[in-house]
Chain A
């Protein structure tokens, strides 16, 4: 048996699934990418630029896709309904007579963003000028002007950190990690587009863990005059003129404050996607208390699931930035290769 005679099913065509597929096909394996959406690329499709260097998201996606070769078959609109195992894995897809047979499976089902409606007191879906960070990114991507509903210019914007992260009340205990630097990146982008707009960021902690993040944070303050206020938003209201009154305590100054803004951007957290939960339960993969898939060992086998032949990559395990996601995908490809090579010998 050779690599060329073996097939891997990659469930999820986001950055992790694509990168792992590129590496696996490069090694000679056949890969099926099963993507339930109409296009591969995951959340990168909706993103404009990436932190910390403002690289264009579509360039990154193109670079990943460039690694795929003719041994890759991409099936879009492919929803996995059943997986059975008899030496190999048989995967049944919804509405399709085609059955995929694979020697190994890589789960790369990614994340969903937190549904901001659950933070009812912030008024998302009710107040006109409350949007999410994901929506703001589409403004940037589509070159859409940031205006008030009545078409007048926005003069003051508030970014609210940790919406659906580290929040017991919202049922989300974990830190989504990348939202802090995303807020800084987006705030800078706003200032680049509209230098006169006042930008406030309301945060609990600023977790600038990656190389270049701290520098970006400093740049935001020193060059762009973006104001950072340590304090968790308690609630917001819509004023008669449609502006949003933000009610927050400045915990450094030790004072409650109210501030009116024209637009409030909620930095929505990262949750295990519905597809991730579904795959976990379908395949009997361990699930952490926070809903993400659980590898057999988070230190030295973090791409291996508790089920033989099933591997994990990307944000189906935890929130990650693109760099970590791609590295994780490559590691998963190596471990899949090791697993299949052992079967060959």
Chain B
């Protein structure tokens, strides 16, 4: 594989990412799936990088899951999106940063649609006015939260306590990246590196010392495609998608899967457990699973944040194998302790796979 060829493509897909003053909109599901990720994003931006980020509790879901499942009409979705923009405008911000990939794709799609059909934008403005009395400005800059971390990947590397390097061998940690489908598959020009060879996570991995592993089913969906799991009868298809990816990446012996979508880390993490229960198969070394992380969790680890503050204990696949390789310090006894050492409860031990 010729990496220089990829670099030529990456050059074609650069995007402008605002330098500061972000209006951050959270995901519906990420705080449940990976509770430390969004908090880590805010901590990194505010504390490490000294950026101004507005994080409000008054915004709502973007309706993306409902929209893509055909239960929310497009005009309703657009009006909700318009309200989010109105909240940003009222707060005095112009740079819109969604946490969720589907939201990012949806906001991009709505802005593009309004660009081509201004009469529709006018109608949505009227809808919002009638429903809420609000007005809005469109964002000057729309970037996914992973774009922002990508933008500051060098600054994060400079402040990092750890590198993505095996402390025993000195070799880079082998990482596969998985990009949410709605990041750039719909609008390749809106994603760093485009749709076929996205660079947004690969750039972080490289900068933080790891080795990016390409594998045949890299582009394949993780199985989070909404119709695949919302309808219970379709969930086997979701599982099959994840399995296809694991089977494809296994020969490359990845040590970490890095993601930037709410659903991908969820399914790539949890389905490893399900597959193991069903088939007794694990995809990591020594009967272990392959740890799956969000880019905020990884950035937090590099910066020396406590793994349990990052919420890594709620992952199905344990992260300890990776922490030990890198040499990240942690207290095993505190894994399932919350604030003020409150016991969180321990998950049921899987029958086959070693998740620690």
A contact set with B: CB distance below 8 Å: 117, 120-121, 124-128, 235, 237-240, 245
Given that A127-B1, A237-B216, A238-B216 are known contacts, is A117 also in contact with B251, CB under 8 Å in the complex? no
Give CA–CA (A237, B219) in the complex, Å.
Answer: 9
Q: Closest chain A residue to B217 by CB distance?
A: A237
Please give, as numbers and ranges, the residues of chain B lying within 8 Å of A237 by CB-CB distance.
Answer: 215-219
Q: Which of A117, A125, A126, A245 contacts B216 (CB 8 A)?
A: A245
Whether B1 contacts A125 by the Cβ 8 Å rule is no
Other A-B contacts than A120-B194, A121-B219, 5 sampled, CB-CB below 8 A, are: A117-B5, A121-B196, A237-B218, A238-B1, A239-B216
B contact set with A: CB distance below 8 Å: 1-2, 5-6, 8-9, 194-197, 214-219, 251-252
Give CA–CA (A126, B214) in the complex, Å.
Answer: 12
Give CA–CA (A125, B197) in the complex, Å.
Answer: 13
Given that A120-B197, A240-B252 are known contacts, is A126 also in contact with B217, CB under 8 Å in the complex? no
Whether A126 contacts B252 by the Cβ 8 Å rule is no
Please give, as numbers and ranges, the residues of chain B lying within 8 Å of A125 by CB-CB distance.
Answer: 2, 5, 8
Give CA–CA (A238, B5) in the complex, Å.
Answer: 13
Give CA–CA (A235, B218) in the complex, Å.
Answer: 11
Most chain-A Cβ atoms within 10 A of its Cβ — which of B8, B218, B252? B8
- CB A168 to nearest CB in B, in angstroms, measures 14
Give CA–CA (A58, B194) in the complex, Å.
Answer: 42
29 contacts between A and B (CB under 8 A): A117-B5, A117-B9, A120-B9, A120-B195, A120-B196, A121-B196, A124-B5, A125-B2, A125-B5, A125-B8, A126-B2, A126-B5, A126-B9, A126-B197, A127-B1, A127-B2, A235-B196, A237-B215, A237-B216, A237-B217, A237-B218, A237-B219, A238-B1, A238-B214, A239-B216, A240-B215, A240-B251, A240-B252, A245-B216
Give CA–CA (A70, B195) in the complex, Å.
Answer: 56
Please give, as numbers and ranges, the residues of chain A lying within 8 Å of B217 by CB-CB distance.
Answer: 237
Please give, as numbers and ranges, the residues of chain B lying within 8 Å of A121 by CB-CB distance.
Answer: 196, 219
Give CA–CA (A235, B216) in the complex, Å.
Answer: 10
Please give, as numbers and ranges, the residues of chain A lying within 8 Å of B196 by CB-CB distance.
Answer: 120-121, 235
- CB A127 to nearest CB in B, in angstroms, measures 6
Most chain-A Cβ atoms within 10 A of its Cβ — which of B1, B9, B196, B216? B216
Please give, as numbers and ranges, the residues of chain B lying within 8 Å of A235 by CB-CB distance.
Answer: 196, 219
Q: Closest chain A residue to B195 by CB distance?
A: A120
Give CA–CA (A286, B335) in the complex, Å.
Answer: 72
Give CA–CA (A117, B9) in the complex, Å.
Answer: 8
Give CA–CA (A286, B251) in the complex, Å.
Answer: 56
Please give, as numbers and ranges, the residues of chain A lying within 8 Å of B216 by CB-CB distance.
Answer: 237-239, 245
Give CA–CA (A117, B196) in the complex, Å.
Answer: 12
- CB A240 to nearest CB in B, in angstroms, measures 5
Give CA–CA (A238, B1) in the complex, Å.
Answer: 8
Give CA–CA (A124, B9) in the complex, Å.
Answer: 11
Please give, as numbers and ranges, the residues of chain B lying within 8 Å of A127 by CB-CB distance.
Answer: 1-2
Given that A117-B9, A240-B251 are known contacts, is A128 also in contact with B219, CB under 8 Å in the complex? no
Q: Closest chain A residue to B3 by CB distance?
A: A126
- CB B214 to nearest CB in A, in angstroms, measures 7
Give CA–CA (A126, B218) in the complex, Å.
Answer: 15
7 tightest Cβ-Cβ pairs between the two chains A and B: A126-B5, A125-B5, A237-B216, A120-B196, A121-B196, A245-B216, A126-B2
Please give, as numbers and ranges, the residues of chain B lying within 8 Å of A120 by CB-CB distance.
Answer: 9, 194-197
Most chain-B Cβ atoms within 10 A of its Cβ — which of A120, A240, A245? A120
